Amino acid sequence: MMLTTARGTHNKKKWVWVLLIALALSFFVWRINAVREIFQSALLVVATPLWRVEQGVLLGAERYMSLFSSKRALVEERARLEEKNASLATKLATLPALRKENKELKDALGRYTPEVSMRVGRILAYPNRSPYGVLVVDVGAEEGVRQGDIVLAQNEIAIGTVSRVSAHSSVVMPFSSPGQKIPVLLGENRVPVTAEGMGGGDFLIRLPKDIPVAVEDVVLFPDAGMHVGGTVGAVRITPSDPFQYVLFQAPVNVYELFWLQVVSEEVSSQENTQREL
Amino acid sequence: MKNGMKRLCANAGIFLSLLLFPWWVTLILAIASVFLIGDFYELALWAYAGDTLYGTDASRMFHSVLLIGGVAFFVFLVERAKKMTRFY
């Protein structure tokens, strides 16, 4: 009888301790944001070198494994890449002229076009690391990155936005994160619609059937400086449904990238005055 | 393996997995640790570490509180379940 009572008291004490610790921790985390910052900095001190070593090992392994590729496969791949390169070079040749013309037209119409600065960041952690599906890059507030900055791949493809900034690292939320909604311009007619992220660089658009959409139509992200977001991969139409479903994908696979570009709008006092006027 | 050693290995494993492996590997390790080690309440700290490293701005503040509280409550429930199970 005595034993049962002692055990019961012990259990009660344990309950109270658990509850107290949980409450104290919750209050601590919720109330004092600085604690989080310190904790995060301490974690990043350990994590960043480890992530860098991991990237180095992965890159080294990839290079080492490429030694075992057959000669024929390499020749074939080289020919394919040369062909692709020539085609891309032709397309790219018109780009600077078009950009210049675009800027001149905007200036002529009195539209404010902000100057931007670009920072190159190395990917430290890929979206599969966390259930949030985010990327971690090694540039942060000290390098001039701000929350809301646009993140590009290969200087052209919009990947996401900077969601949280630390001193030397930033968390990037990809546009394609599941449930994320983003306004896009679809196809040659630039139809404004809303795309929903499906994860892994995939997006879904639901729009009326009578709007013409074709496979390989380009999708632009107006909120990300009119950068390319992807190309249409498939259009799903069913006779009973008044809507069509457009699936599009980012032209790059995030897992194959090592570097990203973070684009920030340069805001100077002169520009601020111009903007106000 | 002694209990203290087991606990240390589990903590080191979860920490490394948090940094180097996909999140579901960490989740499996965490659940296994809760069942294999008694009173594994430090899991709440690892959950918080994961949230601090990868959490977005939208997932701050109250989300962290819920996360820590939820994990601690999960460990507590497992401990209760263990006591009712003959296997433990």
pLDDT tens, A58-76?
888 877 877 776 777 888 8
CB pairs < 8 Å spanning A and B: 80
- pLDDT for residue A269: 45
Shortest Cα distance from B56 to chain A (angstroms)? 6
Cβ proximity of A160 and A200 under 8 Å = no
Would you say residue A272 has pLDDT above 70? no
Give the nearest partner residue to A25 out of B22, B52, B68, using CB atoms: B68
Predicted confidence (pLDDT) per residue in B45-86, tens digit: 899 888 888 887 755 556 777 888 899 899 999 999 988 887
Kindly state the helix (H) or strand (E) to which residue B50 belongs, with its residue range: helix B43-54
Per-domain residue ranges of chain A: 2-66, 73-176+256-265, 181-254
- pLDDT for residue A94: 67
Give the architecture-level CATH label for domain A181-254.
Beta Barrel (2.40)
- pLDDT for residue A95: 74
Q: What are phi and psi of A139, to 5 degrees?
A: -120, 140
CB of A32 within 8 Å of a chain B CB? The answer is: no
Residues of A in contact with B23 (CB under 8 A): 128-131
- pLDDT for residue A275: 44
Q: Which of A28, A44, A123, A132 best probes binding to B when mutated, by most B CB atoms within 10 angstroms?
A: A132
Verify whether the Cβ–Cβ distance B76 to A18 is below 8 Å: yes
Verify whether the Cβ–Cβ distance A132 to B56 is below 8 Å: yes
Residues B1-20, mean pLDDT to the nearest whole number: 89
Shortest Cα distance from B59 to chain A (angstroms)? 9
CB of B58 within 8 Å of a chain A CB? The answer is: yes
CB of A47 within 8 Å of a chain B CB? The answer is: yes
Cβ proximity of A260 and A121 under 8 Å = yes
Shortest Cα distance from A232 to chain B (angstroms)? 29
Domains A73-176+256-265 and A181-254 share a fold: yes
Residues of B in contact with A125 (CB under 8 A): 19, 53-54
Residues of B in contact with A26 (CB under 8 A): 65, 68-69
Shortest Cα distance from B69 to chain A (angstroms)? 6
Predicted confidence (pLDDT) per residue in A133-180, tens digit: 899 999 998 888 999 899 998 888 899 999 988 888 899 999 998 888
- pLDDT for residue B62: 63
Q: How confident is the model at residue A271 (pLDDT cuts 50, 70, 90)?
A: very low
Alpha-helical segments (H) within chain A: 2-31, 33-66, 71-93, 95-108, 269-276
- pLDDT for residue A29: 62
Residues of B in contact with A173 (CB under 8 A): 56
- Mean pLDDT over all residues of chain B? 87
Tell me the CA distances in angstroms from B59 to A26, A153, B15, one per residue in order: 15, 25, 21
Report the chain B residue with the minimal C-alpha distance to residue A130.
B23
CB of B83 within 8 Å of a chain A CB? The answer is: no
Q: Which of B23, B41, B43, B54 best probes binding to A when mutated, by most A CB atoms within 10 angstroms?
A: B54
Give the number of other CB atoms < 10 A from CB of residue A88: 10
Pick among 2.40.10.340, 3.40.50.1820, 1.10.3720.10, 3.30.230.10: CATH of A73-176+256-265 = 2.40.10.340
Pairing of strands A259-265, A181-186: unpaired
Q: How confident is the model at residue A85 (pLDDT cuts 50, 70, 90)?
A: confident
Would you say residue A44 has pLDDT above 50? yes
- pLDDT for residue A4: 52
For chain A, give the percent of residues with pLDDT over 70: 87
Per-domain residue ranges of chain B: 3-83
Give the nearest partner residue to A30 out of B53, B56, B61, using CB atoms: B61
- pLDDT for residue B74: 93
Q: How far apart are CA A113 and CA A102, in angstroms?
A: 10
CA B71 to chain centre: 7
